[in-house]
């Protein structure tokens, strides 16, 4: 797997169980994913995990990232502090598709208290398989970067 195809995933304590299930899901599909933590359900500070994942995606060490916390909101706020990151909180398949097509989101944030395991897998599959539409959206993405 080349760096351009690598995927990084992280969670806080609230997202740990769902993250573990998602990592197993990737393993069943022979897809490597780098686990940036946390590694148990002990209370931890989500901004630390979000920052690590976002910095690695922004540095192009990984093409895309997934962050999981209770609602996905905290992780997205923290990740979006890093230049070059477009982290989207997604809780349905349509938003997953649109966040890639129109916003070229490079980090997917999911709330483990909002989204169940089956829906999370559907969201991730759609998000990973959808490309950026470009065109008129390029200008808007450039505006976000400035």
* The one catalytic residue among 13, 44, 69, 94: 69
Q: Identify the pLDDT of residue 5.
A: 61
pTM for the full model?
Answer: 0.94
Give per-residue pLDDT as tens, 94-127: 999 999 999 999 999 999 999 999 999 999 999 9
**Catalytic site includes residue 69:** yes
Give per-residue pLDDT as tens, 34-82: 999 999 999 999 999 999 999 999 999 999 999 999 999 999 999 999 9
- Region for residue 20 given its phi and psi (left: phi exceeds 0; alpha: psi -120 to 50; beta: otherwise): alpha
Number of neighbours of residue 113 by Cβ within 10 angstroms: 12
pLDDT reading at 17 higher than 70: yes
* The one catalytic residue among 13, 44, 102, 109: 102
**Coil/strand/helix, residue 83:** coil
Q: How many domains does the chain have?
A: 1
Q: What is the DSSP string of 32-61?
A: --EE-S--SSS---HHHHHHHHHHHHHTTS
Task: Please give the residue range of the domain that contains residue 70.
Answer: 3-145
Q: Is the separation of the CB atoms in 88 and 111 below 8 Å?
A: no
Q: How confident is the model at residue 140 (pLDDT cuts 50, 70, 90)?
A: confident
Q: Identify the pLDDT of residue 92.
A: 98
**CATH code for the domain in which residue 109 is found:** 3.40.1400.10
């Amino acid at each position: 797997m080349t760096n351009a195809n690598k995927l990084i995933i992280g969670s806080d304590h609230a997202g740990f169980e769902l993250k573990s299930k998602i990592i197993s899901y990737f393993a069943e599909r022979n897809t490597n994913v780098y686990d940036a933590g946390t590694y148990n359900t002990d209370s931890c500070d989500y901004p630390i995990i979000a920052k690590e994942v976002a910095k690695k995606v922004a540095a192009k060490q990984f093409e895309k990232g997934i962050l999981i916390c209770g609602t996905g909101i905290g992780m997205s706020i923290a990740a979006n502090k890093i230049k070059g990151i477009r982290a989207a909180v997604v809780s349905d398949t349509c938003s997953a598709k649109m966040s890639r097509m129109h916003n070229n989101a490079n980090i997917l944030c999911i709330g483990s208290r909002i989204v169940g395991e089956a829906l999370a897998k559907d969201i991730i599959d759609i998000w990973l398989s959808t490309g950026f539409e470009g065109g008129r959206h390029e200008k808007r993405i450039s505006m976000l970067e400035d």
